[in-house]
Amino acid sequence: MKPHCAAWDAALAMFCVFWDAFGHWVGVFERGMLSSAVYQQAGLAGLMRAQTAPAQNPAFMIPAAQEGNAWAFVADLAAGGTAGALSKTAVAPIERVKLLLQTQDSNPRIKSGEIPRYSGIVNCFSRVAAEQGVGSFWRGNLANVIRYFPTQAFNFAFKDTIKGLFPRYNPKTDFWPFFATNLASGGLAGAGSLLIVYPLDFARTRLAADVGSGKTREFTGLMDCLSKSVARAGPLGLYQGFGVSVQGIIVYRGAYFGLYDTAKGALFKNERDASFLAKWAIAQTVTAAAGVLSYPFDTVRRRLMMQSGGERMYAGTLDCWRKIAAQEGSAAFFKGAWSNVLRGAGGAFVLVLYDEIKKFINPNALPSSE
């Protein structure tokens, strides 16, 4: 149990660091030291840089004469969270089909033959509708929306904050340094937010993978899933697959934010003049590429989630990678990947919608890549 205890202690320590930093920042706002006028001048990243960097460095100072509130930060959170919640609800049926295909080889009821295997996307769609009802396509969606709102909101808000800690580069003259900066800021933002919302992601997976109907369902809802999982495996059971999730989230978020911001900066002279359709096309390509690159990590973590509180098929992350490759072949890592590409349309919509909502809330705000 020592490795598990160490992992849990590390997770708690990281959470405390994030929470303490956030609480300190909110306290600064409550004391009236920062202003929306300053935000418009320096941006969210500038404000955070002023609070965390050496005070003697003039580049990190904020004019003392300006006062205000945290409206800009709240607006940033609201824009990203609202866009993400709407998008996830819209693509929930595709998301559930993807999870069923991805986890069926570790689902006890399917492995035992009680429930026949799904042969593909079309077969899964038709059978779920017939056997579990159309409403079951949104099974686990509540957990996903609750999870996605803070995840997406903090990803977008803190992506700009983290990016502000790096030097600024011109995408036209310093393409690769600009790309690396966006890649790092996106990856770190995703990894940080994942730590906080992981139990909700775990619950979403288990609810979506529940192939029962009526009284044969394993879980009746979000709270039932969380309480039963904790009763069976303890609090750590909610963090099954967390390690590989961090690896995957860095790969996905790094590409998701890094490639999108890089492409916008490189292709558009003035992003505000770019059409919605052009930005959506770029976002669609980026989310599809990011999803395929990180999909094997996602498959491994979902498999590990499925064994929480039940029969252990895998001794750990490396054992899961090895057994899937040896027993099912490398193609097994990409089961449900095509539905993930379709789902990526929602992710692309989020990226573009975020910029549009942010522009509506504050017409003078800079786009996310600037």
In terms of C-beta density within 10 A (0-12 exposed, 13-18 middle, 19 or more buried), how is residue 19 classed?
exposed
Q: For the chain, where are the alpha helices, taking DSSP H only?
A: 2-30, 36-52, 71-90, 92-103, 108-111, 121-132, 141-163, 175-208, 222-233, 242-267, 276-306, 317-323, 337-361
pLDDT in the model for residue 275: 77
Token pair of 300, please? 């491994």
pLDDT at 204: 93
Q: Which one-letter amino acid corresponds to residue 291?
A: G
Q: What are the residues whose beta carbons fall under 8 Å from the beta carbon of 355, sequence distance 6 or more?
A: 271, 279, 367, 368
The count of other CB atoms within 10 Å of the CB of residue 359 is 16
pLDDT of residue 73: 62
- Read off the tokens for 120: 């593909």
Pick out the chain residues at pLDDT < 70: 1-70, 73, 76-77, 80, 149, 152-153, 155-157, 159, 271-272, 342-351, 362-370
pLDDT of residue 228: 94
- Locate the domains of the chain by residue range: 35-69, 74-361
Q: What torsion, rounded to 10 degrees, do the Cα atoms 31, 32, 33, 37 define? A: 160
Question: Any idea what the Cα angle at residue 70 is, between residues 257 and 68, rounded to 5°?
Answer: 135
CA distance 240 to 81: 25
**Are 340 and 291 within 8 A, CB to CB?**
yes
Q: Mind listing the pLDDT tens digit for each residue in 216-259? A: 999 999 999 999 999 999 998 999 999 899 888 778 777 777 77
pLDDT at 350: 67
Encoded tokens for 185: 């800021």
Q: Which residues of 31-56 are buried (b: 16+ CB within 10 A; e: fewer)?
A: eebbbbebbeebbbbbbbbbeeeeee
CATH class of 74-361: mainly alpha
Q: Which of 133, 28, 150, 155 is nearest to 81 (CA)?
A: 150
Residue 316: the pLDDT is 92
Beta-carbon neighbour count of residue 271 at 10 Å?
18
On whether the pTM is more than 0.75, the answer is no
Considering the chain, what is the average pLDDT of its residues?
74
What's the pLDDT at 344?
Answer: 60
- What is the tens place of the pLDDT at every residue in 7-20? 444 444 444 433 34
